[in-house]
Structure 1
Amino acid sequence: MRILSLLLLTIIIGTSCSSQKKTDMKSTQIEYSAVSRGLYKKIVVHNQMVSVTNGRNSEAVENKISDSKWKQIVSEFSKVNLDTYSALKGPTEKRFYDGAAIANLKIIQNQKIYETQGFDNGYPPKEIEKLVNLLLDFTKE
């Protein structure tokens, strides 16, 4: 009987922890921006919605994110370590001589802002590369 109650308690605690993670993602906002003299791109993902702005004078276009794409974003986001997030460095430095736009990935979670250092648009740090590429897919649609 003890073993059964211990097993049941473990399952309940495990289930509540996984649902808490999903709740946190619903209150999380992810913002990708890329800016240069000739380029302005902003992608905002929040609660299974995406808002894409292509151009300084353009209106944002909002769309619902499909369930499969949302699962991919949640999966990649769960791999991000927010404690070391601000120390990530991009693999190239083309932005220093106008070879690439300056890109940034900002995460707002529980009223706390996590922001990367600037990196080259199209060349994100390896740790967030898959997440950034998923976000950039919204500009191709």
Structure 2
Amino acid sequence: MISKIGKVLFLLFFLNFSLFSQEGLDDYIIEYRTLTRGMFKRIVVKEKIFIYHSSRNSKTADSLEIKDELRARLAKLLEDLPLKGIPYLKAPSDKRLADGAAHAKLKISLKKQAYESSGFDHGNPPEEIRDLVEFILNISGSVQKKQ
């Protein structure tokens, strides 16, 4: 017989890690921003669209429809994230503090709740969000090649 504590822990674990699979991928926004004095990128992933802004002042953006296989990969990456812990992740390096790297942030909004990371060096995110950031940057590379 499973104890009450065991049941509670199981439910907490199950609910925390299956949030995206239960809600689907139609009610989320992922935003990745990186900037330095001379460079700016803003990447937004929403539902089935990937939007890439390469200028702060630009009124236009490039976009790409996210295919089903990429959405499945994205769902898996999101499922594995500890959303509530994202604001507390520690950056593995601090080159951005001395203009040695672009400053980057990741923000994930689900329904009316937003989870935003603290700043980290572009290209060197905290380990817990590394796979998601690399996935987003790889897609942004394909959008840039399309231009």
TM-score bracket, normalised by the shorter chain, equals: 0.7 to 0.9
Alpha-carbon deviation of 1:55?
2.0
User: Does residue 1:45 correspond to 2:45, yes or no?
Assistant: yes
Matched-pair identity in %: 35
User: Are the counterparts in 2 of residues 24 and 109 from structure 1 also a CA contact under 8 Å?
Assistant: no
Aligned to 1:9: none
User: Are the counterparts in 1 of residues 20 and 79 from structure 2 also a CA contact under 8 Å?
Assistant: no
Aligned to 2:57: 57
Aligned pairs (5 A) from 1:33-112: 33-58=33-58, 59-112=60-113
Q: Deviations over 1:61-100 (max 9, x none)?
A: 1210111111111111111111211101121100000001
Letter in 1 for 2:75: V
- Give the Cα separation in 1 of the matches to 2:20 and 2:86: 21
Aligned to 2:130: 129
Alpha-carbon deviation of 1:24?
4.2
Alpha-carbon deviation of 1:20?
7.4
Unaligned runs of 5+ in 2: 1-17, 143-147
Letter in 1 for 2:94: E
> Structure 2-normalised TM-score?
0.78
**Secondary structure in 2 aligned to 1:117?**
coil
Unaligned runs of 5+ in 1: 1-17
Q: How many residues align?
A: 124
Q: Deviations over 1:111-136 (max 9, x none)?
A: 11110000000000000101000100
- Give the Cα separation in 1 of the matches to 2:91 and 2:108: 17
Alpha-carbon deviation of 1:110?
1.5
1:23–1:123: structure 2 CA closer, same or farther, 3 Å change rule?
same
Q: CA RMSD in A?
A: 1.7
Alpha-carbon deviation of 1:25?
2.5
Aligned to 2:28: 28
Would you identify which runs of 4 or more consecutive aligned residues in structure 1 move more than 3 Å? none
Q: Deviations over 1:24-44 (max 9, x none)?
A: 421011000001101100110
Q: Choose 131-140 or 21-30, whichever is displaced more.
A: 21-30
